[in-house]
Structures are given as structure tokens and as C-alpha cells.
Amino acid sequence: MARSDPGGWNTSVTALDTERPDVPEYRGFATMLRDRVEGDVQFDEYTQILYATDGSIYQARPAGVVLPKTVEDVQATVQTAAEYDVPILPRGTGSSLAGQAVGPGCVVLDFTKYMDDTVEVDPDTQRATVQPGKVQDHLDNELADHGLKFAPDPASSNRATVVGGIGNNSTGAHSVRYGITDAYTEELNVVLANGDLIHTREVVLDSEEYEEIIAQDTLEATIYETVRALVEDNQSEIDDKYPSLKRSVSGYNLHKVVYENDDGEEVINLSKLFVGAEGTLGVIVEATVSLVTKPDETALALYCFDDLIDALKAVPEALEYPVSAVELMDDEVFRLAAESEGYSEYVEPIPEECAAALMLEWDSELVGPDDGTQREAFESAIADTNAHFVDEGTAFDVIEAYTQEDQDDLWKLRKAAIPLLMSLQGDPKPYPFIEDATVPPAELAEYVQQFEDILTDHDTSAAYFAHAGSGTLHIRPILNLKTDDDIQKMHSITDDVTDLVLEHHGAFSGEHGDGMARTEFTPKMYGDDLWEAFKELKTTFDPDWQMHPGNVVYREGPDDIGPDSERGVGADNRENLRYGAAYQSLEPTTELDFAEEGGFSHLVELCNGCGTCRQTESDVMCPTYRASGEEIQATRGRANMLRAAISGELDDEEIHSDRFQSEVLDLCVGCKGCKSDCPTGVDLAKLKAEVKHEHHQEDGSSLRSKLFGNIDQAATLGSKLAPLSNIAPKLPGARVVMEKTLGIARDRELPTFKRQSFEEWFEARGDSAVPLAQADGKVLLFPDTFTNYSYLEPGKAAVEVLESANIHVDVPTNLAPSGRAAFSMGYLDKATSHARENVDKLAARVDDGWSVVFVEPSDAVMFQDEYLDLLDGTDVQKVSAAAYGVLEYLDNTRLDEHIEFDAPSEELTYHGHCNQKATNKDHHAVGVLRRAGYAVDPLDSSCCGMAGSFGYEQEHYDLSKSIGQILFDQVEDSSGETVTAPGASCRSQLGDRPGKSTPPHPIEKVADALD
């Protein structure tokens, strides 16, 4: 993916450099596509596996994938697919929850890599035009300067595309205020099934423009005439069958395609028909959407109830107030969040006895100040609801949030509900298949009570959350879809619930669409006449049923409307399941302890396909995807490949192939971001280490891997031979030889070694400046490899700062390396040996009150996290609990508050270490630096791209630079004068920028501020 290159680095990188042969069945089709398409054409087995799933319960291998660069590419793909009788499936991020992004035997069009631009923003008309791969949050970030936003806001907006939302007719938490996507879709450019490109917009019926369109001998003309006739002929059924709800996205939008415009003219706008069509009528290649003004401020109040039904009864009452959102979460969401490493902090304010909570939002456009401030206006509005729900009603507590930070915490908890629920231990999971049925809010409480009766009849339970204010509750029955009994139970529950929804004047889907989950039941909702109209509509747009067949509408047999073909015949929500009764997975014997995750295979299967790893503008996960734009480099992609390997979908030995190792595992940088950022906690760094270990055992390992896995020995030798060891790589031709023999990139600056190690420096300086008897604490400062042999200054600064806080410092010389390098390279036996040696030597001293403190973050996290996977027993637990990064230690003990600082007038840009971010320990440095007197701009950055040895490896050098460029752009945009970073790898990457020097460790800046 090409990115801006202000520093002069070439950051154009493609992760897929190895041979990926097309599957034989589609070889001719793929070859023809490559002749006609400028974009990427991928028809190998790996690609089929990567695109076989989405965020739903379904899985079906496509024929292959095209990543188009132009509209002409899309037209060529559609036309070529017709020649080869291959169906078409347009796809955004693949986060769909009803199976809309899955299509057996389809050629998938993935727009997210190339066709992801904003074409135009017109603030005056409040419209934006985007390509189909544009991510919604990226658009909203661009619109923020104009005070505008795209109104529908699905929880997946940080990776979901605008046009993907059009395909599903998506909405989100603010549909109470703004409605759904079809209200904002104004004009589209669409490639039809025959390859024609049409422009849909408001066309006045019987106008000159309309007559010109239908006078043509084109598919477009036929479509206009057919759609008009279907609406006019079925008007009474349309009036009767379409529910009167803010949210109803089942079937086709026949009730919205013909309407009266603002000038009182009757118009037809086919754009409204493509909304919610799930790619079954054509391929959207450009969309013009209307925008809304973005409120300047918001406020939240979360009301706690001790009973779910009481909370639901309060929903219609909440809607009587000027609120912009009414959301519900139940205690199951709270429980899972509390157990999740990445979300536990957000649930801390929620009382334990809270069985359900309603979250109400106000915005400054609905609640403006009269005589006071905006804050006072919000406080007054919330006081009114407090009086109603708490003082007089059934809520027992309220949490008020006025700052953006406090509100963000509550929204993160709410938006994480879906993937959090999928993190349940064991095979039974709260699966989505009827989770977004919608009923009028006034009927919600009664509906849920009757819903619970259905669950009881089927001997299961469910979790409840989401958009209560719109009558859309995401209710997920807990089932084990690896058993035939529960698969049949899923179908029976769906049948019963859809009957119940109709009794309550509701819609089968209020947000997530029909897809594979609900298309089967759509005839029940609309009746025979409209069902026949849907089929005629589909056949008119797509005579050969080539466009995503079997979704939204299906045929009863090949002689039904359409060609004599089996395509699009039948629909059954029990087919194409990711986990079916025949699914089996291998549970290997592992070196690491996977008991907490339920086993190796369970950790792999925790990936539900939600695609959080594809978000690119916050958090840690997933740095390689951000740089390459390749699905295989996202955590989801790697998890899909591992699941295929352990379930027999791939050949038994494929996991040990060079291709699997290089494409799936070696490009994971081990940042650990997925451990915290993935809501289900799919820890790919841990999985990778285990598989790499097994691979070394099976096939051996390279000299370079052994070198990097034993980097401490190499650094020890480099220090002893310094300065010769520093001169040798600079000799003419030396770097070329290193690249050819070891695979170490010739253009990467290598670390230099100091003749005197940090251990030797500390020993030479004599006893600690703070006598043990007079100290307020005692610290063993771990001499990590980088600090010991290459970067002594951070270690010296740590000693100075700790002693300034009256801490007795010792640097032990009898310890093994932490094992981080060995662990990262998959040498788990060596990592275990190092861990055991260190724990054995440190346990007694920890018992004696010593803390183990680290300058290097990755070594600190190794003790805190990975040691617990490598070893058992109380000794490792207490050593792990006594391990701290140096800034973490200062912040936790608040010892720095007793230090005199000389108030520096400097603003720092702080880039935190990804391992510390993943374990929620990154914020400590910012707190200490601020108390030392610095202004600090902490970057919301991901991995720097060096990742230990990764950035030195020749085949990964370009990708490392591309990841680094993302960080460099953030640094350039920061207001800080000086960048600081705790990781030695991060400082090395930042120091490799042209004209830049290696930045300081934050402990050095703390030392600089000492009075």
C-alpha cells in the first residue's frame, strides 16, 4: 500500500511476495481476469480461506477475489464472470453479521485496498461522494473540519465502509435521532449485471428525463419501467406489509423507491432500492450521501436497573425526553467486559447488582443552553431524567458522563458487546441469527418476556443489548453450533421468533440485513404477492441471477422466475455454517499454557470475524494490516488460516510449509495488540510463538533465526570486541555479505556496542547512593540486552531517578536474558529455560521485598505476561507480580512526587511501546513525565515496525519501513518538540529517519528534569 513519504523512504509495499498458484478449477477464469483487470486478482487456496467468512456464523469458499483499482476493473470483472458463469459478491470490510459478505463460488470484489477515496465533499449542500472502499470513520474524520458527519453510526464504523453500510442499510446507536442509511443515500453509480454503468438519482416521473431513460433499448430502461409497475401494482400490499418502524431492512425497499420530493414532485430514485439490497442488484462503485451537522457537545447518563424487564419498560418513557440515543446492556456484557483484559477498566463504574442498564445521550443541538452554559443545560436535562427514573422510577443508580473521555469509555463498552459475547469459554456461544429483530419500543418489554418463553422452550438463554430506543435488541441465544441438535434448535428458534415479531408488528431485521441468516424467512414477513414482486425485481436487474444469488430473495426451483439454473434456489439458515456438526479441530500438545484460553484451538476459534483488527486509526492492532492492506496480515486473516490448519481444511503439513510460515506467521510482528484490542482476545503473538516452536522442532531453523533468538550472546560478544565489532559492518561490502548470508537488510542501521556494559558501569560506581537501611524501597534493575550492551544511558538515568526517589538500587549480574528474543522467534524451550533460571534466582529476593524493574518494556512484559504461560507455580506468580517497567514503578508508587523537579519548559511527543499498550501499562510514563513538569502529547500509535528483529530482516525491511512511516506521520502531526519512546527498537526506528537522531527514553527526560 503506497503511503505519503515525507522522510524519503520508499514505503510502497505488498506483503504477498511469494508464489500463490491459482486453484485449478478457476485457473482459466483468473488468467482472463488478469488480462482485463488492472487491480489484484487472487484465486489461490489461501485467498479462498481468507474470504470464506465474515462477522457471521457462516463460511463458504469463494472462487477468488479481485481488488479493483477502477470502475473499468469492476465492469470487466462482472462481464468476465458472466462469461465463465461465476457469481459476483461485492464486499466492504466483511464485518457483516448475517452472512452477506459470504458467497459460495463467488468472485469477491474487495474495494478496501484501492477504491477507498473521498471523491468530493460539498459543505454547502451537505453532501459527500465516496468510493466503495471508504471507511466511515475515515470519512467522518475528514468531515469534522466542516462540522459535519455521516449520520448512521454502526458499532463497526472504524472499519466498516460507507457503501457496505448502504448494502446492508445500516444504522447504529443514533437511529432514534437520525434514522437509517436509506434516508441519506442520494445518488449512486452502479455496475449492473451486464456490465452497464448507470447513475441513479431522483428522476421526476413522466418528465422529459424519465421519458429519455425509458426510451432507450437498455437494461436501465427495463429496470425503471419494471420498478414503477411493481410499486404501482402492489401499492396496497406495500402499505399493509411494510412495518411502521424507524428500522426495517428486510427485503427490498419497494416502499421507498417512489416518493414525493421537496418540490412536491413524484420521483423515482433507484438509489433507495440498492440500499439494503446486499449486492444482489448491482455493484455500487460510487455513492453520494447527505450529511448532518455534528453536535458540538454531548452528555451521557447510564441508568442501572436490577431487572431487565424494568429497564425495557423504561424505554418508551426515555423517548419522551430530547435524547439522541437510548442503548441497553445487560449483566452478561458487564461480566464479560470485567473478565476482558482490554475492557475491564470500562466496566469498573457499573454496580455489581446492575442486571441491565439504559444509556441515554443528549446532544447540544437538542438540548441547547438558555441562559447558562452547555454543561448546565446537560445537567438540567439529566436532572429531569434522574428524577423520573431514579427518584420516582425503578432505576437504583445513575452514572453521569460529561467529559469526552468518560463518554468514550461508556461507548467503548457498548460497542464491544458483540465481540465480547463471542469470547465466552467453551463451544456454546451467543450466536447471531435473529439478533436484530425490531418491534415498536412500546411493545419491547412484552416482546422480550415472550422471547424468553421461547428460549425456555428450547432450553437455552441469551444476552441482551443494543438499540432499545429503536426497538432493536440484539438478542443472541446461546447454542453450540458444532452439534446437530443445536443447529436444528437454531432453525426452530428462528421460526418461532419471526412469528413473534410479526405478532408485535415488527421487522425480522432492523439493522444487520437478511443474508444467509434470514432470507429463508422473508416470505413470511411480506406475503405471497410481495415475495413474487421481489423475485421479479431481482430477475429484472439480474436476469441470470449472477449477483450474490440466494440473499434477500431466493427461488423455489430452477423453473421459478429466472434461467434454468440451480443458482439462487432455496435458502436455509442451517447451511454453510462455519462450525457444523461435522466440524472437528486438532488440539495439539503445547509448550505454552493455554488453559486460561480454553486450549490452543479454542483461542484460534475465538476469532468471530468482526474485523476490529482492520481498523487503522487508533489502538495497537494490527500494524501489518495498516501498512499492507492485505487481509492475510490482519489478525482475522491469520486466525482464519490457523483455523483452517487445525480443522483439516488445509493439508496436514501445510502449516509447516514455507508459504504458511512466511505469509501467515512471519509477518506477525508480535506486538500483542490483539491480546487487548481484539474484543475476544485472540492473542496471535502467543499462537505464533507456539506454532513457530513446533515448526523449529519439526523442520529446524535458519542461522539468522538462531542468531536473533540468542541475541544476548551475540551482544555480549559484540561488547567484548568493541570497537572492532562496530567497525566491521561498515567495511566495504560487509553489509551485502550479511544480507546474502544471513538475510539482514543492508540498508538498516545496526546497533553499536559499548565496551563497558551497564553491569560493569554499575559495579564500577560502587554501592548504591541510597543505603539499604535508609531506603524507601529496594529495586533490582534488570540489565536487559539493549541497555546492557548498546544503550547504557537509559539505564544510568533509571538509577539516577530511582535513587533521587530514595530507592536502593542493585543491578544483578547472575541473571539469564529475559527470554523475550527466544520467545518471539519461537524458541520456547530456551525461553522457558531463561524464565525458570530467573524465577529461581529472584523468588527469594522478591519474598524479601525487592521489586524487579526494567528499562526495556518488552522485557518487563515478558516477566509480567509470558512467564505465566511458560511456568507454573507460586514463585513465577510472585516474581511476575513484582515486575515493573521503570515508569510504571514510579507511577504506581508515586515516588516521583517526592522528587524535586526543575519544571522543564518543553513539550514531548510520547510514543508508547506496543507490548505495554497491550497490557494496559503504557499510561504510566505519561503520568510521570507530566508530574516532572513536561507537557506531553501521547500518540495513539501502533507498533513502530521494528519489533525486535523484524525490522532487520531483509524480506521484511520494506514492510517495517511502511509501518514506521505511519508512526512518523503521527510524530510530524504532533505538537511536541521532542519525541520520546521507551522501547529500544522504537528509538532505533525513529532514529533511522533521515536527518533525525535516536530519541531519548522517557526515563532520560525524567532525569533531565531533576533539580
Is the distance from CB of 519 to CB of 240 less than 8 angstroms? no
What CA–CA distance (Å, rounded) separates 63 from 58?
16
Q: What's the average model confidence in pLDDT over 492-501?
A: 97
pLDDT for 19 equals 66
Q: What is the pLDDT of residues 84-106, one digit of tens each?
A: 999 999 999 999 999 999 999 99
Q: What's the average model confidence in pLDDT over 828-847?
A: 98
pLDDT for 522 equals 96
Q: What's the average model confidence in pLDDT over 500-529?
A: 96
Q: How many residues does the chain have?
A: 1011
φ, ψ of residue 852 to 5 degrees: the values are: -105, 115
What CA–CA distance (Å, rounded) separates 359 from 173?
10
Please, which residues bridge with residue 197 across strands? 191
Helix H or strand E encompassing 803: helix 792-804
pLDDT for 463 equals 85
What CA–CA distance (Å, rounded) separates 9 from 11?
6
Place of cell 488460516: 641
Does residue 830 carry a pLDDT above 80? yes
pLDDT for 50 equals 98
Please, which residues bridge with residue 808 across strands? 778
Decide: helix, strand or coil at residue 266. Answer: strand
The answer to whether the bond into 986 is cis (omega within 30° of 0) is: no
H-assigned helices in 848-922: 857-861, 867-870, 874-881, 886-893, 914-918
What CA–CA distance (Å, rounded) separates 247 from 976?
46
Local confidence band at 424 (pLDDT 50, 70, 90 cut-offs): confident
Decide: helix, strand or coil at residue 599. Answer: coil
Q: What's the average model confidence in pLDDT over 356-384?
A: 95
Decide: helix, strand or coil at residue 981. Answer: coil
Other beta carbons within 10 angstroms of residue 384's beta carbon come to 11
Is the distance from CB of 644 to CB of 650 less than 8 angstroms? yes
- Nearest C-alpha neighbor of 517 from the set 434, 429, 439: 434
pLDDT for 11 equals 35
- Each as own residue / partner, the long-range contacts of residues 532-536 (CB below 8 Å, 24 or more positions apart, any chain) are 532/561, 533/230, 533/233, 533/234, 533/237, 533/254, 534/251, 534/252, 534/254, 535/560, 535/561, 535/562, 536/226, 536/230, 536/561
The burial class, CB within 10 Å (0-12 / 13-18 / 19+), for 382 is buried
pLDDT for 521 equals 97
* % of the chain beyond a pLDDT of 90: 89
Does residue 289 carry a pLDDT above 80? yes
Contacts of 225 (CB under 8 A, 6+ apart): 214
Local confidence band at 984 (pLDDT 50, 70, 90 cut-offs): very high
In angstroms, what CA-CA distances link 833 with 686, 688, 820, 838, 839?
17, 19, 12, 9, 10
What CA–CA distance (Å, rounded) separates 16 from 65?
14
Does residue 903 carry a pLDDT above 90? no
CA 959 to chain centroid, in Å, comes to 20
Q: What is the pLDDT of residues 909-937, one digit of tens each?
A: 999 999 999 998 999 999 999 999 999 99
Local confidence band at 370 (pLDDT 50, 70, 90 cut-offs): confident
Q: What is the pLDDT of residues 763-821, one digit of tens each?
A: 999 888 899 999 999 999 999 999 999 999 999 999 999 999 999 999 999 999 999 99
Ordered DSSP codes for 332-379:
HHHHHHHH-TTTHHHHTTS-TT-SEEEEEEEETTTS--SSS-HHHHHH
H-assigned helices in 871-993: 874-881, 886-893, 914-918, 923-931, 957-973, 984-991
Q: What is the pLDDT of residues 187-222, one digit of tens each?
A: 999 999 999 999 999 999 999 999 999 999 999 999
Q: ∠141-143-147 over CA atoms, to 5°? A: 115
What CA–CA distance (Å, rounded) separates 200 from 187?
5
Q: Are strands 266-268 and 203-204 parallel, antiparallel or unpaired?
A: antiparallel
Other beta carbons within 10 angstroms of residue 31's beta carbon come to 12
What CA–CA distance (Å, rounded) separates 70 from 132?
11
Does residue 6 carry a pLDDT above 60? no
Place of cell 511527543: 909
Q: What's the average model confidence in pLDDT over 981-1006?
A: 95
Q: What's the average model confidence in pLDDT over 487-501?
A: 98
pLDDT for 4 equals 31
Local confidence band at 7 (pLDDT 50, 70, 90 cut-offs): very low
Place of cell 525490522: 951
- Nearest C-alpha neighbor of 677 from the set 625, 723, 640: 625
- Cell numbers describing residue 347: 466496566
Contacts of 116 (CB under 8 A, 6+ apart): 131, 133, 134, 135, 138, 161
- Cell numbers describing residue 861: 512484559
Is the distance from CB of 797 to CB of 1003 less than 8 angstroms? yes
Other beta carbons within 10 angstroms of residue 326's beta carbon come to 26
Is the distance from CB of 893 to CB of 807 less than 8 angstroms? no
Rg (CA), the chain: 30
What CA–CA distance (Å, rounded) separates 385 from 302?
11
What CA–CA distance (Å, rounded) separates 25 from 21?
12
Local confidence band at 1011 (pLDDT 50, 70, 90 cut-offs): confident
pLDDT for 561 equals 74
Q: What's the average model confidence in pLDDT over 867-880?
A: 97
Is the distance from CB of 343 to CB of 483 less than 8 angstroms? no
What CA–CA distance (Å, rounded) separates 1008 from 580?
61
Decide: helix, strand or coil at residue 781. Answer: strand
What CA–CA distance (Å, rounded) separates 936 from 443?
51
Q: What's the average model confidence in pLDDT over 57-74?
A: 98
What CA–CA distance (Å, rounded) separates 511 from 529?
24
- Cell numbers describing residue 528: 405471497
Amino acid identity for residue 676 in this structure = S
Is the distance from CB of 323 to CB of 361 less than 8 angstroms? yes
> Would you say the C-alpha torsion 27, 32, 33, 37 has a positive or negative sign?
positive
Q: What is the pLDDT of residues 263-287, one digit of tens each?
A: 999 999 999 999 999 999 999 999 9
Average pLDDT value for the chain: 94
Q: What's the average model confidence in pLDDT over 233-247?
A: 95
